[in-house]
Chains A and B, each alone.
Chain A
C-alpha cells in the first residue's frame, strides 16, 4: 500500500563515532503518530532524517512519495526542531511574517496560524518574553504555515503544564483531522495515550508500531509506560 506518508527502510545514521540508527524500518500513516523513547535513543536523529537535514550513512527515507529533503517537499513538510527555532527578538507576528515570506504564503495564512495556536492576544509580543508554552506554540504556528501535509514536531510539549499539553494535543488532532500527518516525538510516556498510533523506540530501533490500546493489550499492561518496560524486558 502506498498511503503511508513516511516510509523508512534500513536507515543507518552515524553521529560522531556512534551508530545512532542501525537499519531502522518504519512507516507513518496520516493521523497523529507519537514517537516515544528514552532520551538519547535517536528520536531527534530520526526526525531530522525525515525532514532531510540529517546526513545518513545508508538506507532510504521516502516522504510523500519522494526522497526525504527533496526540493518539492519543502512546501509540504512543517518542522519544529527540539530547540524552539523561532527568533527570540522578534514578535510572534514578525516571526510568522518572515517565515511566510520565505514560503511565499499570504498574510491570511499568518492570521490563521496565529488563531490555530491561540496566540492572538500575544501576536505583538516579543517571543523571548513569552512563557515556555507560548513560545512552543509560536514555533508550532510557524510550522503550520502553508498547511503542510506532514508536520514533524520534536518534543513540542517538553516542560509544559498538563493543561497546555492537552491543548496542544488537541491542536495536533485538529490538524490531523484535516487529512495531514503529524509525527510528534516525546519522552513523556503518558502522552502516548493521546496518539492514534505509537512508535516505541529504544537504542536506535523501533520496538513496536501499534495503537496505544494494541500495545497495552499485547503486553497485558495497564498503561503505556508499563507496556514499554515489559517490551524492553522481553528483549533482554
Chain B
C-alpha cells in the first residue's frame, strides 16, 4: 500500500550564505501492506512527523521515492497531489485541524464539497458519518463548543467521509485524556477490521504503539528497530 525507498530528507535553515543543513531522515526503506496498522515511535525530534509529512505530500523529499497505491507520489506536482490526496488519504492530526468557523457538520462535509458532490448526497453521507462517530446531535456545534475527544471524532469523520483506503495519523491521541484515547484506539481497530483501512500512525505513546501490527522505531533519522506487535 505504501512503499518508501531510500528516502532521505534534510531541512535547510537560515539566510543565504549562512545556511545550516539539518539532516532529518536518512535512507529510509519501509513498506506498509494493505489492511495493516503500522505505528512509528521515536523520541521527539527523531523525524517521525517529517516522515509522515513526506508521505502526505506536505513536503517534497530531497532523495528517494514514495509509492502509495501504485502511484509514485514523490513525483506528483501540487495540483495532482491534491487530487490524489482527496481520493486516497485520510488525515488525523494531533490538534484536530478543524475549521473553527464551520460547524461539525460543515467540517465533515468539506471533503465532499471539494470533491464536487451534490447537496443531497452530501447531507446524507455527512449525517451517516456523524452518526457513526456518535455526534449527530452535535452537528451544529462549532469546534470551540466541543470537547477534545468530540473534536477528534469530528476530524476522524472528516477523514473517513471520502472512504480513503489509507489513514495517516500524527500523534492522534496527543491531545486526549486516557479514557478518550482508549475509545479512539478501539475505533481505529474497528475501522481496520471492518473496512480494511490501512493505518500509518505516529506516536510516542506505548498504548498507541501497541495497536500496530508492526511498530517501527526511528532514531536520529534512521529506522533502528522493527518489532511485530505482541497485542495481536
Q: Do A and B come from one complex?
A: no
Interfacial residues, chain B to chain A (CB-CB below 8 A): none
